[in-house]
Amino acid sequence: MAELATLGWLFLVVAFGAIVPVVPTGAAVSGAAALAFHTHPITVLFVLVAGAAGAYVGDLVMYAMCRRGGESLARRLRWLRDEERLAAVKHRLQEKQVPVLLVSRLIPGGRVPVLLAAAFAGLPWRTFVVANAPACALWSVVYAMIGLAGGSIFPEPWQGVVAAIVLILVVNQSMTWISRWRAARPSATGVS
């Protein structure tokens, strides 16, 4: 019964984090997977489902907000910061919808611009609903695997949870630095 409540909380945290992008949803899934590995290993499958379902429901709410609120909502919530990047994402979405949604779910900070671009470009609901399902499932599997790695390396459950969370934070921060470096690189080469 406690596992069911924990899975319910995981679902809620991930769904809320998909709507409010400052919540570390990947760390929540990784930590839950590491804990499940030590307590009831079969529960890891339920962690995958709860994480993917939470991400999916949260993304649907976020997409609905983007579609309904449009650019005015995006500007008010400060989601719309880089119009050039948004235009590039819109172009990529027109060419390859499913791969862009898949990749956006895995790149820290990449999901919100893609959801905005999809909403502003008028990506049909049906396409979004179908294309986002594998993206959320893949995201949940990746973060659960990180948690399983942490859980299998350390003998105590709390050590695996801490290791998984630290690893997620390090990977996310590294990806942020790499993205900033790549964004700054073309402007630096154009100056000379």
153-169 per-position pLDDT tens digit: 777 777 777 777 777 77
| Residue 47 resides in a domain | yes
DSSP label of 122: T
Nearest 5°: CA angle at 111, between 62 and 123?
A: 65
- Are the CB atoms for 150 and 34 separated by under 8 Å? yes
- Are the CB atoms for 11 and 53 separated by under 8 Å? yes
Please count the other Cβ atoms lying within 10 Å of the Cβ belonging to residue 86.
20
157 residue type, one letter: P
What gap in Å lies between CA 146 and CA 142, rounded to an integer? 6
| Residue 183 resides in a domain | no
| Residue 68 resides in a domain | yes
- Are the CB atoms for 97 and 66 separated by under 8 Å? no
| Residue 131 resides in a domain | yes
| Residue 182 resides in a domain | no
- Could you give the count of Cα atoms lying within 13 Å of 44 in the half-sphere of its Cβ? 21
Q: Is 148 helix (H, G, I), strand (E, B) or coil?
A: helix
What's the domain range around 66?
A: 2-18+26-177
Q: Which two tokens stand for residue 112?
A: 């919100």
Check residue 90 and give its pLDDT.
65
| Residue 185 resides in a domain | no
Please count the other Cβ atoms lying within 10 Å of the Cβ belonging to residue 127.
14
| Residue 192 resides in a domain | no
Check residue 59 and give its pLDDT.
92
Number of structural domains the chain divides into? 1
Check residue 81 and give its pLDDT.
58
Check residue 192 and give its pLDDT.
45
Which residues of the chain fall short of a pLDDT of 70? 1-2, 70-91, 93-95, 97, 172, 175-176, 179, 183, 186-192
| Residue 44 resides in a domain | yes
Check residue 20 and give its pLDDT.
83
